[in-house]
Amino acid sequence: MSESEILERIKQAESDAKAMIAQGYEDRRKAIADAKAEAREILSIAEERAKDHADRLMDAEKGRISKERGTIIRQGEVDAKALKDAASGRIDAAVDFLLAEFERTVHAKAEADE
């Protein structure tokens, strides 16, 4: 093998090495870009799952709160009716008491004027 052939092979080997190094850098850049894209996808999926989970929890709590609200309202209506019924039963007694007090005051005033 002649000296020029050896030099040509060395130049070719150097050229091949440079190309391999460049390809290695390109492969590394692409691998990093792919990993970042995959990480973004995983993060997006995780965020969507977390949002869905939070929505399900919120819906469940809204249902529980609505049911509890209905129970409280029904109990309030029952209590209000009981108070109204109790008050209605005392109206006649209150009227009789006020009338008796009025009559007593009128009689006392009439006796004082005589």
Residue 48 has a pLDDT of 97
Count: domains in the chain? 1
Residue 102 has a pLDDT of 85
In a domain, 48, yes or no: yes
This prediction has a pTM of: 0.52
In a domain, 54, yes or no: yes
- Low-confidence residues of the chain: pLDDT under 70: 113-114
Question: Residue 76 gets which letter from DSSP?
Answer: H
In a domain, 94, yes or no: no
Question: What letters, b where the CB count within 10 A reaches 16 and e where it falls short, cover 80-107?
Answer: eeeeeeeeeeeeeeeeeeeeeeeeeeee
Domain span including residue 47:
1-81
Of the candidates 43, 70, 50, the one whose C-alpha atom is nearest the C-alpha of residue 58 is 50
In a domain, 36, yes or no: yes
